[in-house]
Amino acid sequence: MASGQPSYRIVAWRTCPWCVKAQELLDSQNLTYEVEYCERNTEELQEAKKRNNWSTVPMITAVQYFDEGIQETFIGGYDNLAQLLSEPSDGERG
């Protein structure tokens, strides 16, 4: 992966339609991601909710790798991801 190129992490339920839509959106834009499945009422899900200060799934985080280390930026849920990906990048602004 290129330095600084974002990847995404999704905390999801296997049966969550919005989690599936988030994966489909990332796939449609050829973006890389990993999915951490945390089913309902599990300790892992509670930890993810606390870590992200977010109560629903999906929980989506942008992950960027640099020579100096890793930067993680919490995005939110599906709607937040869709909005982020629809915004023009700096190179596309007029």
Write out pLDDT tens, residues 75-89. Answer: 999 999 999 999 876
Pairing of strands 6-12, 33-37: parallel
Task: Give the Å distances, CA to CA, from 61 to 32, 47, 71, 84, 91.
Answer: 12, 15, 10, 12, 22
What does the pLDDT read at residue 4? Answer: 58
SS3 for 19-77 is HHHHHHHHHHCCCCEEEEECCCCCHHHHHHHHHHCCCCCCEEEEEEEECCEEEEEEEEC
Write out pLDDT tens, residues 14-48. Answer: 999 999 999 999 999 999 999 999 988 899 999 99
pTM: 0.85
- Can you name the CATH fold of 6-88? Glutaredoxin (3.40.30)
Length of the chain (residues): 94
